[in-house]
Every structure is written in structure tokens, then in C-alpha cells.
Amino acid sequence: MDILTSNDQVGVYPPSYYADSAQPLAEFPSAKGALKCDVCVVGAGFTGLSAALHLAQRGYDVVLLDAHRVGFGASGRNGGQVGMGQRLEQEELEQMLGMDHARALWDLACESVQKVRDLVRDNDMDCGFADGIIHADHRARFVRDSHAHAEKMRRDYNYDLIRPLDREEIRHLVGSPAYHGGSLDMGGGHLHPLRYAFGLARLARAAGVRIFERSKVLSVEETSPAILRTSEAEITAAHVVMACNGYLGRLQKQVAARVMPINNFIVATEPLSEKAADALIRNNHAVADSKFVINYFRLSQDRRLLFGGSESYGYRFPADIAALVRKPMLKIYPQLAETHIDYAWGGTLGITLNRMPHFARITGNILSASGYSGHGVAMATLGGRLAAEAIAGQAERFDLMASVPTPRFPGGVALRWPLLVLAMTWFSLRDKI
């Protein structure tokens, strides 16, 4: 089964709230015939769009290929949260890598969020960027750690945009009795991800990137120059950036052993009154909770609740996504029992075993960046920029990310699915304890 077509029609955006509320781009042509370029980028999500844009701005001749459409995958379907830091907290990174390495990764993560802010602001992207992400603890015993983390970030990293939330304040900010405390990070924020992807595509096109849609890469010959083949084209490229994330399939086995696709799901309610919306989330922050299978939610610009929750680990999406996600939504907000769900959609993201992104040099002229594990809006944008730097001969920052170990999944590509299902089942049970 092909993950690119298991749930989607080729070249047709899924019927999501994002697709219905973004000004669509005119279709780009499919790649045909013999093409040559300095760099071929595979995948037109945040990583690929950012890599192509930053390479073109450096004067490189860039071809960008996507099997479907620009922003078609996780980049155009996700929760839109632009989180600070890496996917792992600094305490975990310090233990894993040491203080100096962890601090360097923090600096990159801060830059990634600022890069998104700059791109949106400087190019007048209508993405509805709003400040603030609430971390909400669903167990009282987690609150102490959340408060200690906020204090540590202020003390050790001079980061003063995060503060603890007690039980009373979090229930004021998030109109639900489900949470016992947490933190508010005003360094992060949220946006409309598909509008952001389209904005990056417009910038890349204006910079001279040749974008081709409906151009699935069937093979990559790892030579110098590299040769990439689609059903109708052969592309010869001095360099390649693999930016496929959860939709890689078996195109590159070394990456597939470390980056695994899983499915996640989101619903959008009908538009709410200003009073009703404010009663759910005050001050238009985004929310992500402490469950292993995270619930994440925010308000759209037209005051819908966008609620993400639940995962699946096979190729196919469930038949009734709305019913699947309504269940955790109503546990947080039982007052929405009579509220209509206008949209329900799924998407596939790439995760790694330790949840840190996987940056790699496949060969001397082929780079890969993926596996953002649900933390990709900002880090994927920066990942593309770091790949562009590396191709231009400034590889230190790409190599810093690549030095973070990302282990292979046990059992290899063939057995990782059943083993992951067992692990996720255990973690889901732990969430209920």
C-alpha cells in the first residue's frame, strides 16, 4: 500500500478547514522530460519550501518536486502550533547530550520560531499568527515539574517568556475542569499552517524556484550528480534535499529506518460566538496537554475550536474521524456536546524513536531533514534553511542537528508497526492512570 495514496486522491487537498479557508495557489505543472539543476528538493512541505527558498536566495538553480500539491501533507493539515524549544525539554537534552550541546539546540529552536515570525511579518502573510501556548497538566502530580521547568528556563537560559500557571489560573484561561496547572509560554504561538505553506511557495516561486506538483519521485540514484526519476521526468542534480517526513515510504531506506509515519486527526467546530469562544480559551492562546497522545487545540480566526487528538498507526484513516476526535474533545469541553463539527480530517506525520528530528547526510551530496514528531512548524522551517546553508558550504549548524542520535526503530521497517502499536497502547493506558 502506498502511503501517498492510502487516504488521499492524487493532487486533491483533503476536505479540511484549512483547505477551505486558504486562498489556493494555481496548480504548478508536473515535471516532464530531462531537467538539470543545482539542487533538487523532494517534498513541498515546510522543510522543502524553506530549503528551496533559501537556496534560491543564495543564487542556486532549484527544482522542487511534490507527489501531490504544495503543502499537501502534514504541513497543511497540522495543529498550527509554533512551539518554542526542541521536541524534548531542555532537561532531557542536557542529560542526553550535555549542557553545551543542549544550549546550542535551544538557540536553534529560538531562531526557528523567530524565523517563522519574520517570514510572516516581513511578507504580509495572512496566517493569523497569535502569541502564546499553554501547557496543560492533566494530572495534579505533573504540575510541580511544569513549574520547575518554567523556573529552570528563566534561571538557566535567561528565558523570561514562560511562567507557571496554578489550578485557578489555568481553569480561567482554559474553560475546563480537566487541568490542574501548567505553564504559559508567550514565546510560541499559533497560525494557519496551509496559508503559511502557500506563503512560502509564493516566495520560493518569486525567487526563481521551479516548482513541480503531481511529480512523485520513484527513485534516487545516489551518484554525483544524483539522478531522480518520476514517471515522466529525469532530473539531474548536483545536490538533493530529501524533505518527505511521514510520506517518505521506502524511497530512502536509511531514513525510513529512523523516521516512521503515524496518523493524527483534527476537527473544526462550527463558528462560535465571541462569548462562547472566549469561555473555551481566553486571550486566543493555543493549548497542548500533558498526555502522551497529546490533545492540542486552539481557536481559528473565525472562532471555531480546532481540536486535535487521537492517533492511528496503520496506513488507513478511520472511517469516522469526527466521532474519533469528538470523544477526547468532549472530555475537555463537555459543554460542546451539542456543537456541530463542520470539518474532520487526518494527516500523516513523521516521528522518531526519541522524538528528536532526524537530520542526516545520506551521501556527500544528499541531505535529509525530517522526523519532527509533531513539533515541525518552526523546526522544519529552520531545517530547510540549515540544509541550504550546508549545501552552500556552511554545514556547522546542520551538522549540530545531525549529531543528535536518532536510533533505528526496533524490528526495522517490517516490524516497527506492530511494535509501535504495542508501545502506544501501553502509553495510552498510562495516560489514564
Sign of the Cα pseudo-torsion (328, 329, 333, 338, in order): negative
CA–CA separation, 223 vs 234, rounded Å? 14
**Residues 163-183: tens digit of each pLDDT:** 999 999 999 999 999 999 999
Amino acid 286 reads A
Please write the tens of the pLDDT for every residue from 71-84.
Answer: 999 999 999 999 99
Distance CA 67, CA 11 (A): 8
Per-residue pLDDT tens for 12-56? Answer: 999 999 999 999 999 999 999 999 999 999 999 999 999 999 999
The closest alpha carbon to 46, from 82, 17, 5, 86, belongs to 82
Amino acid at position 57, single letter: Q
Q: Which stretch of 2-16, 141-155, 196-210 has the lowest confidence by average pLDDT? A: 2-16
Q: What is the pLDDT of residues 55-67, one digit of tens each?
A: 999 999 999 999 9
Whether 421 has a pLDDT exceeding 80, the answer reads no
Q: How buried is 218 (Cβ within 10 angstroms: 0-12 exposed, 13-18 middle, 19+ buried)?
A: exposed
Please check the confidence at residue 106 and state whether its pLDDT lies above 70: yes
Nine-digit cell at 353?
524513536
| CA pair distance 359, 403, nearest whole angstrom | 8
Average of per-residue pLDDT across 128-144:
98
Q: pLDDT class for 427, splitting at 50, 70, 90?
A: very low
- In total, the chain counts a number of residues equal to 433
The band of 315, judged by pLDDT with boundaries at 50, 70 and 90, is confident
> What ranges make up the beta strands (E) of 3-136?
33-42, 62-65, 81-82, 130-136
The grid cell for 101 is 550541546
Q: Which of 33-47, 93-107, 220-234, 249-263 has the lowest mean pLDDT?
A: 249-263
Longest dimension (CA), the chain: 64
350: cell is 513523521
The predicted structure's pLDDT at residue 417: 55
Cβ atoms of residues 183 and 164 within 8 Å: yes
The grid coordinates of residue 34 equal: 530531462
Looking at the chain, the whole-number percentage of residues with pLDDT higher than 90 is: 90
Alpha-carbon distance of 64 to 90, in angstroms, equals 34
Q: Rounded to whole angstroms, how far apart are CA atoms 431 and 433? A: 6
Q: What is the dihedral of CA 253, 259, 261, 266, to 10 degrees?
A: -150
**Cβ contacts of 36 within 8 Å, gap of 6 or more:** 235, 236, 237
What pTM value is reported for the model?
0.95
Element (H, E) at 265: strand 260-269
Distance CA 415, CA 238 (A): 35
- Please tell me the distance from the alpha carbon of residue 385 to that of residue 67, in angstroms, as a whole number: 22
Residue 412: predicted pLDDT: 60
d(CA 305, CA 339): 10
Q: How far apart are CA 80 and CA 297, in angstroms?
A: 9
So what's the pLDDT on residue 422? 54
Span of 4-8, 242-246, 418-422 with lowest mean pLDDT: 418-422
pLDDT at 425: 57
Question: How confident is the model over 198-214, as pLDDT tens digits?
Answer: 999 999 999 999 999 99
Q: Alpha-carbon torsion 373, 112, 217, 15, what sign?
A: positive
